[in-house]
Amino acid sequence: MPELPEIEHLRRTLEPLLVGRRIAQATLHRQDMLCQLGPHCATRQSMMVGGTVKALHRHGKNFSIEVHDGRVLGVHLGMTAQCFVTTAQSDDRQPKNHRHAVWILSHPQEKTLRARLVFRDPRRFGGLVAAASQTELETLRWSRLGTDALAVRSVEFRQLLRSTHRSLKSALLDQSMIAGLGNIYVDESLFAARLHPLSISSALTAAQSNRLHRAIQKVLVRAIDAGGSTLRDYRDGNGDRGAFVPKHQVYGRGRLPCSVCGEQLERSAIAQRTSVWCSQCQQRVGITDARSAIG
């Protein structure tokens, strides 16, 4: 599932392609892909037809498109969804199947060339959420999420860790605590911070918590700059793949040598997710035996 870096890079690549363009037409091929918040309104209104794109927002793994009159469409990619812009010249290079929603975009300086915004989702775990305003979307949907992982301050981060006795892996995956981290970037951040994924969150010292906070910020920024991680389906707003996978230190490298010490990386299920770590480089805090804790 795309995580914060993928969604933030997607937002950044979509923004120059959408802001200032008018939504001239919209086609929703699957009604069940659209959820309408508040009173029922026509699909045309929910799909923001007639509005000019003003801004794109993001919180955690979700982003939204806002038009000038305040209407907002929230987007969640789930596992396999893609959201990209095409023109008549580039459309043939993008997949044609599973296009559940298509918007025709116009621009005052482009009289003949029109672009299309496409939302496709082969497995249909993603979706669209129509709201009357960004505030309504945040209140009714995004308020369930914790502080965005890029925005959380070190003091708040430490308080959140102190509030739970769960493992670091489990706590960091909890979207109601910190929004945006998933399996890839939790494993990568814990390796960068030299902390074992089964360490008890509340047992971390202030120095260890600060180290983990800095590692998370650094890993996320590096991943965003690289365009995110494309394992299979993820594409940015131009339809391009992310380039961060070759820079993974642990994710997807179980049983391979650690890039720092050369020891074989451990791999097992933690918090119902396949986790990879180095037993030599990553310190265990609050546990005595990682193997027995895994069970």
Catalytic residues: 2-3, 61, 273
Round to whole Å and give the CA distance between 55 and 15: 7
Round to whole Å and give the CA distance between 220 and 182: 11
- Whether the CA torsion 184, 214, 141, 177 is positive or negative: it is positive
